[in-house]
Amino acid sequence: MEDAQERKASGLGTGEGPLLDPVYANAMSHFYRGELGRIMGWRMRLDATTNWAITVTSTVFTVALSIREVPHGIFFFNLAVVWILLWIEARRYRFYDAFRARVRLLEAHFLVPVVLQNTRLLQGDWRRIMCEDLLMPSFKMSKLEALGRRLKRNYIYLFLLILGAWMMKIFLHAPAPVDSWQSFYEAVAAGHGMAAWLVVGVFAVTFTGVMGLMVYISRASPSEVSEFGMRNRDMWRI
């Protein structure tokens, strides 16, 4: 009896209230579909920049490791291209995240109450927040956080592969066998006009920065998807 009174007061099951108003529900459904299509478009753009980085890296690997005369300095070009693509992808990720926030807002505050038929789940003035974001769109994360997230997800593996290929190039195509630190230092300086200390310094600073940024973002930024639900995976068996 009390449950029926609560449902009547909230408009649930009576055809009243915003959640069950046909015009409102239809408009919100189309709005949700539109926002979902928008973030899928940005998701494809993210995949495109990652594919470009993989293509450039694989091409450089093929040329560097198959042609002995090509100096290992070619990996500087590889690092520069990957950094540029990472920066572009981080910018695209900020747009993706801004529109994804709207989708999550709709899912949490509109779809969940509709599915459960319980308006008590509607917490906060989410409609006002949504309208303000539509009038004046804003990013939901900083450039540094976006850079760190894309680095953690994809680009850290590319940087590690570049480091491994660079080392392999030096050992395979060194003018003399590399059997000591001195011979390695001489092999680093061979094949181009750059000083060995500069080459080692660039790679050391690059990979130290990459690892430091990834560790910082892993600790300071929350994960995109929570691992909490892993405990109840058996509930999803069909």
- Reading the chain (238 residues) residue by residue, the pLDDT tens digits are 444 444 444 444 443 455 667 888 888 888 999 999 999 999 999 999 999 999 999 999 999 888 888 888 888 889 999 999 999 999 999 999 999 989 988 888 888 877 777 766 666 688 888 899 889 988 988 888 899 889 888 899 999 999 889 888 887 877 777 777 777 777 777 666 677 777 778 888 888 888 888 788 777 776 666 555 555 556 555 4
Q: What is the CA radius of gyration of the chain?
A: 26
Residue 40's region, left for phi above 0, alpha for psi from -120 to 50, else beta, is alpha
Spans of all domains in the chain = 2-224
- Alpha helices (runs of H) in 107-195, residue ranges in sequence order: 112-116, 126-135, 143-150, 156-173, 181-189
Alpha-carbon distance of 92 to 116, in angstroms, equals 35
pTM value surpassing 0.85: no
